Amino acid sequence: MKYLLITGALFSALMLQPIQAQEKNNSLNQSQTTKQSVVEIQTKVKGITCKNDVSTLATNVEKLHGVISCTAKKLGPTTTFTIKYNETLVRKERIFKTLENTPGCKNPEERPYQIKH
């Protein structure tokens, strides 16, 4: 009986090793894919009138699934934003559309922000 228990335990341990190694390799491949999919872009947005505009724009972009960060680099009527995102989860066009569809600080009915190309 002891022999069967020891044999069973040894067999189970040997069978789990390849599965665990495969899971580890899959995890590494997913990690590499995620790192390779992260993109950083800079874009200029026109129509900024105050610091609240900058904050609102950055917050709206960061709410998008796949966006890691959105920070303003150069403040002014045309502000430069640096946006870091995972391109497999969100497209650049979606980010730009979100920026342009953000309500204005002075009048929430307006959409005063424009991407400067």
Q: Confirm if 38 and 85 have CB atoms less than 8 A apart.
A: yes
CATH code at position 95: 3.30.70.100
Q: Which tops the pLDDT comparison, 23 or 86? A: 86
Q: Is residue 47 part of a domain?
A: yes
Vertex 88: Cα angle to 53 and 90 (nearest 5): 25
Q: How many domains does the chain have?
A: 1
Q: Is residue 64 part of a domain?
A: yes
Predicted TM-score (pTM) of the model is 0.69
Give residue-wise pLDDT tens across range 6-25.
545 444 444 545 544 444 44
Give residue-wise pLDDT tens across range 30-83.
444 456 799 999 999 999 999 999 999 999 999 999 999 999 988 899 999 999
Q: Is residue 4 part of a domain?
A: no
Q: Is residue 69 part of a domain?
A: yes
CA distance 72 to 30: 30
Instruction: Give the domain range for residue 86.
Output: 38-116
Give rounded-to-5 percent helix, strand, coil for the chain. 50, 25, 25
Q: What is the pLDDT of residue 33?
A: 47
